[in-house]
Structure 1
Amino acid sequence: MGTTHDNVVGLVLAVSSSVFIGSSFIVKKMGLIKAASNGKRAATGGHSYLFEPFWWLGMISMIGGEIANFAAYAFAPAILVTPLGALSIIFSSVLAHFILKERLHIFGVLGCALCVVGSTTIVLHAPHEKDIHSVKEVWELATEPGFLVYICVVAVAVCVLIFRYVKSHGQKNMMVYIGICSLIGSITVMGVKAVGIALKLTFEGMNQFIFFETWLFTVVVIGCCLTQINYLNKALDTFNTAVVSPVYYVMFTSFTIVASVIMFKEWAKQDASQIATELCGFVTILSGTFLLHRTKDMGNRPSEVHSSSDPLQCPDNTKTPQTSEI
């Protein structure tokens, strides 16, 4: 990894984000389970969890994690920050094993190990973040022909999916919803990075909010986030979360890395061996994430597997740790 101060700060923030987000789902679930025993559960429209301190503690932890993740993009390249979101899955799985007694099978342990190995590989070979001194520089990068072509391709693909395939295939094929979320998510991350850089420079004494570009990036982030959340909720509500989560992570991370490489040219100063190593690390993380999700119930007895899929036992079964989202 480039040993620049910004890369180190970005790494620490990204790992901290994973810890906060991973633990937030466990704490929230504890609150939801407790609320379900005292009132109507969340899965059937109950809101008794709003009176549970554990649920609020989990929400605070999640918000803290998202803030740390947002800040990480201001310091480190997306190719370093985005894949590290898999660490939140590991942290959540380990805590669930010890606290919620959701047994982690040997293949789950192997999945966690693969995620750690892949993350370490990417961290050790991550490129240096380009020095940016104004949000106008980010705007110049965003308006270069290569990235404009990428934006046009994304816009066309999203429009085709929304207006052509959502009604006819949205309820049958999860790739429709996930494709929309992943494509838009890659633009969201680029916007988040731009706004993060603007905030960083502003705190350093160079006000970036006097430029219209900063506000335009902010509008893009808000609009993309709302659209992304809408279709992600549709995917989670329609299909099995255990399948949606790893597939979405793979597609979202892949498109984000492609967008970041095109816009910020993060591979321009790296040789073929460094790029190949980073790609190997990324594939290793994807393999670990997929293995962890696909085998998460293998360590349970049949009765335990049944109750883990019961909304009463798992009130928050539509939530899984994920980055990124931004």
Structure 2
Amino acid sequence: MAAVRRWSEGMSSDNVKGLVLALSSSLFIGASFIVKKKGLKKAGASGIRAGSGGYSYLLEPLWWVGMITMVVGEIANFAAYAFAPAILVTPLGALSIIISAALAHIILREKLHTFGILGCVLCVVGSTAIVLHAPPERQIESVTEVWDLATEPGFLFYALLVLTAVFILIFHFVPQYGQSHIMVYIGVCSLVGSISVMSVKALGIALKLTFSGMNQLVYPQTWAFTLVVVTCVVTQMNYLNKALDTFNTAVVSPIYYVMFTTLTILASVIMFKDWDRQNPTQIITEMCGFVTILSGTFLLHKTKDMVDGASLTSMSMRQLKHEEEDGFDESIPLKRQDSLRIIP
């Protein structure tokens, strides 16, 4: 409690604003996962599913409601990055895991095992440990300062690695393994997301400075960051839709959260040198927080396997009974977890 008290007393007004915006963002984004998936399911019933390359969901109003909800959350998230460091803002996405997993259990009937609930708790505990030891925001007075940070050799090397990995995933792994391996779609989203957050933060800082009287829109760097944001967000949305339409929402959300958070904080550490403003104890505590989050994600993933196993056993028994009664095999090829739920 003493640590919490010292932390809260030491928070700047900007960090408090960033914290509130990040929390509200998680609420909207967590709910949007469910609304969008409802729209994807409804659109997939009458057209080609997004997971199979279709875009019929663009004509589904429910999907657009979810999209608007997500946009509101992303706007709040965008504003949060302008006031607080990524290490403080990004881990609070754990709240969206709790919301999406709970709503998926209630609305989408995607079963969440007791260990899945424990996994959610671990994600929150790990995120809290990170937030409590987050570094103060770096003071920046011009978007050109951010550009200088982004063009340093360390971050340029990271960006090159990300682009290479994304191209390999999109052109080699997505066609072969996208429908069967959840990490393919989420890998693209997370890698691109780490770059987009750095650009979002740069753009947010530029707008904050502009509104305070120091016009940053006259700098070409501001528009360069804007272009990167638009490109990355479009790519993220495309592959996130594919992941949501193909795999269980209660599994997509936490895995995406962990990968996105890890890569974003790594990018922030490289670009903004966040750890230079922290002592070894704070850094070690943050790393322990990551381990806790990863443990929670592992539990959620194993929970999905346990549910699938039970469903498959039930399905096999019913098929066997059907074969004994009718005298022939009428097996149903299952490609998606959701297919298990249409069996009476």
Smaller-chain TM-score bracket? 0.7 to 0.9
Percent identity (aligned): 66
Partner of 2:18: 10
Matching of residues 142-181 of structure 1 within 5 Å: 142-162=150-170, 175-181=183-189
- Whether contact under 8 Å (2:193, 2:236) holds in the other structure is yes
Matching of residues 1-326 of structure 1 within 5 Å: 1=7, 3-27=11-35, 40=46, 50=60, 57-97=65-105, 104-162=112-170, 175-233=183-241, 245-296=253-304, 302=311, 309-310=338-339
- Unaligned runs of at least 5 residues, structure 1: 314-326
1:217 Cα deviation (Å)? 0.5
> In structure 2, what is the Cα distance between the partners aligned to 1:166 and 1:17?
30
> In structure 1, what is the Cα distance between the partners aligned to 2:337 and 2:273?
44
- Determine which structure has greater relative contact order: mean sequence separation of CA pairs < 8 Å that are 6+ residues apart, divided by chain length: 1
Root-mean-square deviation (Å): 3.7
> In structure 1, what is the Cα distance between the partners aligned to 2:236 and 2:162?
13
Distance verdict in 2 for CA 1:243–1:281, change over 3 Å? same
Which letter maps to 2:296? Answer: G
Which letter maps to 2:128? Answer: T
Partner of 1:324: none
Which letter maps to 2:73? Answer: G
> In structure 2, what is the Cα distance between the partners aligned to 1:218 and 1:48?
24
Deviation by residue 1:269-325 (Cα, 9 ceiling, x = unmatched): 21111001011112212322332343158579749x989824987xxxxxxxxxxxx
Which letter maps to 2:270? Answer: I
> In structure 1, what is the Cα distance between the partners aligned to 2:137 and 2:270?
14
1:4 Cα deviation (Å)? 1.1
Whose radius of gyration is greater, 1 or 2? 2
1:104 Cα deviation (Å)? 3.7
1:65 Cα deviation (Å)? 1.0
Superposition TM-score, scaled by structure 2 size: 0.74
> In structure 2, what is the Cα distance between the partners aligned to 1:199 and 1:144?
23
> In structure 1, what is the Cα distance between the partners aligned to 2:242 and 2:132?
37
1:171 Cα deviation (Å)? 6.3
Partner of 1:322: none
Distance verdict in 2 for CA 1:26–1:160, change over 3 Å? closer
Partner of 2:330: none
Distance verdict in 2 for CA 1:154–1:285, change over 3 Å? same
1:125 Cα deviation (Å)? 0.7
Superposition TM-score, scaled by structure 1 size: 0.78
> In structure 1, what is the Cα distance between the partners aligned to 2:285 and 2:60?
46
1:98 Cα deviation (Å)? 5.1
> In structure 2, what is the Cα distance between the partners aligned to 1:289 and 1:165?
23
Deviation by residue 1:116-173 (Cα, 9 ceiling, x = unmatched): 2112211211110101111111111111222122223333433444556556666675
> In structure 2, what is the Cα distance between the partners aligned to 1:167 and 1:173?
11
Distance verdict in 2 for CA 1:111–1:160, change over 3 Å? closer
Which letter maps to 1:217? Answer: F
1:95 Cα deviation (Å)? 3.6
> In structure 2, what is the Cα distance between the partners aligned to 1:74 and 1:224?
18
Deviation by residue 1:251-275 (Cα, 9 ceiling, x = unmatched): 3222211110010011102111100
Of stretches 70-79 and 21-30 in structure 1, the one that deviates more from structure 2 is 21-30
Of stretches 248-257 and 188-197 in structure 1, the one that deviates more from structure 2 is 248-257
Higher helix share: 2
- Unaligned runs of at least 5 residues, structure 2: 1-6, 316-335
